[in-house]
Amino acid sequence: MIFEPEWECMPRDELKALQFFRLKKQIRRVYENVEPYRKKMDEAGIKPEDIKSLEDVRHLPFTTKDDFRENYPYGLFAVPMEKIVRIHSSSGTTGKPTVVGYTKRDLDTWSSLTARVLAAGGVKAKDVVQIAFGYGLFTGGFGLHYGVEKIGASVIPVSSGQTKRQLMIMKDYGTTAIVCTPSYALHIAEVMEETGISPDELSLRVGLFGAEPWTESMRQEIEKRLGIDATDNYGLSEVMGPGVSGECIEAKSGLHVFEDHFLVEVINPETGEVLPEGEWGELVITTLTKEGLPLIRYRTRDITKLYYEECPCGRTFIKMTKPSGRTDDMIIVRGVNIFPSQVEEALLEIEGVAPHFQIVIDRKGYLDELEVWVEASEKLFFDSMRKQKELLDRITEHLSQALGVKVAVKLVEPKTLERTTGKAKRVIDKRDLPKYVPSKYLEEK
């Protein structure tokens, strides 16, 4: 099913005309209402009226996570606070989170966009949809929730965790669609096998997965073990949350970008140069309809490739390949975004630890495990076991709070973590995930 065929199947020339119309309006709005944008555009010597074609967007300055930090919390909002009806946030590069705000109309658009994702992934009005994404500041739970309601399907807002309870609900309530991270889907499959539940005892039909990178082989594994059709969907809090792009169940070959709301470019992350369609690079997004927090040329740091092909589903939107890694050091653990700088800052707040640490991520079974190795100070290391244990507990509690995910901490002897003269290697990622190799991003993968 196509949720909004009048938009999703538009002839491409009409779509381009619509994008241009919306772009001009958006640029004028941000220029008039958002001081940091006006300043940047003035510095670059560009006025809204200089945008005379869609391609002219490339003359506008980029927006990055730094802009969020510099204008924390609400400085990028384009409307007064009385127009903002919802606030979400995600982790920032250092210290403060990134704060995003939605107007009533933004929420309405957002639910239509997640309804499009769900419909593309095979969800229909008669479905019972279990959402196992976190509900809260993270955009995953609430974002997809309202999309399900908009389709008219039944939503079970179970939120994340408690796998046995998830399974009980799945079985008893007749869940037909599951929405979560792909790694959690595999964990559910594993617990099913452990507890002797076979897919035949469930009514599951489809699964929609996103919020973290995954591979084609993971898709096959999920489909086989849960007995479902699995599709990918992508989004990020700054731009909206889920609902930026989604795969259709007919082709399962790349994610349709909802181009009537988002103008996408791919750039060379090192030079900022716009790359032709079909080349790998960093995805840059300009929002075309957002009121609360419009973004101009937002650098997502996600590596992908844009390409157009006629799709059996009938949608005319361009496709992006599964994001295959990032250009920065952000890691995603159980769907939670983490920057090594957050670990560093949290550790600096605790007395008795040296600012030397290493993050080790592994996948035990199908769930990510995050371990942080921390060097104890000399004095502490020779203190009593009891004192060491106290410190270990304090660090574990503090880091888990700061990162929003369970952390196992290991105290190591002073001066044992590797020192480098260049950039410290803070992260050892043992998971088998697609990885971004800077020198290779132009090559076909």
Q: Could you tell me which stretch among 56-64, 222-230, 233-241, 360-368 binds ligand DLL (CB under 6 A)?
A: 233-241
Residue 368 binding ligand DLL, by CB under 6 A = no
Both tokens of 226, joined, read: 């849960």
Chain center to CA of 120:
19
Both tokens of 114, joined, read: 């997640």
Residue 37 binding ligand DLL, by CB under 6 A = no
Q: Could you tell me which stretch among 51-59, 65-73, 134-142, 287-295 binds ligand DLL (CB under 6 A)?
A: 134-142
How crowded is the C-beta side of 288, counted as CA atoms within 13 Å?
21
Cβ 298 to ligand DLL shortest distance, Å: 10
Residue 123 binding ligand DLL, by CB under 6 A = no
Cβ 318 to ligand DLL shortest distance, Å: 16
> In this chain, which of 102, 234, 280, 298 binds ligand DLL, going by CB under 6 A?
234
Both tokens of 214, joined, read: 């995954």
Residues 278 and 305 sit within 8 Å (Cβ to Cβ): yes
Residue 300 binding ligand DLL, by CB under 6 A = yes
Cβ 375 to ligand DLL shortest distance, Å: 30
Cβ 241 to ligand DLL shortest distance, Å: 5
> In this chain, which of 133, 184, 258, 280 binds ligand DLL, going by CB under 6 A?
133
SS3 303: strand
The string of DSSP codes covering 410-430 is EEE-TT-SPP-SSS---EEE-
Residue 246 binding ligand DLL, by CB under 6 A = no
> In this chain, which of 48, 122, 210, 292 binds ligand DLL, going by CB under 6 A?
210
CB closer to ligand DLL, 103 vs 233: 233
Chain center to CA of 81:
25
Query: Residues 231-265, buried b or exposed e (16+ Cβ, 10 A)?
Result: bbbbbbbbbbbbbbbbbbbebeebbbbbbbbbbbb
CB closer to ligand DLL, 393 vs 432: 432
Cβ 380 to ligand DLL shortest distance, Å: 35
The greatest distance separating any two alpha carbons of the chain, rounded to the nearest whole angstrom, comes to 73
Both tokens of 343, joined, read: 């670990």
Cβ 213 to ligand DLL shortest distance, Å: 4
Q: Could you tell me which stretch among 18-26, 79-87, 132-140, 347-355 binds ligand DLL (CB under 6 A)?
A: 132-140
End-to-end CA distance of the chain: 31
Both tokens of 135, joined, read: 């509900």
Cβ 424 to ligand DLL shortest distance, Å: 22
- For strands 408-412 and 367-376, give the pairing: parallel
CB closer to ligand DLL, 48 vs 323: 323
Give the number of residues in contact with ligand DLL, rule: CB under 6 A.
Answer: 24
The string of DSSP codes covering 334-350 is TTEEE-HHHHHHHHHTS
Residues 172 and 130 sit within 8 Å (Cβ to Cβ): no
Q: How far is CA 21 from CA 32, 97, 263, 264, in A?
A: 17, 33, 12, 15
Q: Could you tell me which stretch among 61-69, 230-238, 378-386, 396-404 binds ligand DLL (CB under 6 A)?
A: 230-238
> In this chain, which of 103, 233, 286, 342 binds ligand DLL, going by CB under 6 A?
233
> In this chain, which of 178, 202, 236, 403 binds ligand DLL, going by CB under 6 A?
236
Binding string to ligand DLL for residues 328 to 347, with x set by CB under 6 A, is what? ----x----x----------
CB closer to ligand DLL, 302 vs 375: 302
Please state, in angstroms and rounded to a whole number, the distance separating the CA atoms of residues 246 and 254: 8
Closest by CA position to 409, among listed 352, 365, 358: 358
Residue 142 binding ligand DLL, by CB under 6 A = no
Cβ 332 to ligand DLL shortest distance, Å: 6
CB closer to ligand DLL, 160 vs 233: 233
Closest residue to ligand DLL using C-beta atoms: 210
Other residues' Cβ atoms within 10 Å of the Cβ of residue 156: 21
Residues 305 and 321 sit within 8 Å (Cβ to Cβ): yes
Cβ 208 to ligand DLL shortest distance, Å: 8
CB closer to ligand DLL, 123 vs 197: 123
Please state, in angstroms and rounded to a whole number, the distance separating the CA atoms of residues 399 and 245: 33
Residue 317 binding ligand DLL, by CB under 6 A = no
- For strands 206-210 and 255-257, give the pairing: unpaired
Other residues' Cβ atoms within 10 Å of the Cβ of residue 386: 8
Closest by CA position to 281, among listed 394, 445, 113, 57: 445
> In this chain, which of 78, 202, 204, 211 binds ligand DLL, going by CB under 6 A?
211
Residue 183 binding ligand DLL, by CB under 6 A = no
Binding site for ligand DLL (CB under 6 A): 90, 133, 138-140, 210-213, 232-237, 241-242, 300, 302, 322-323, 326, 332, 337
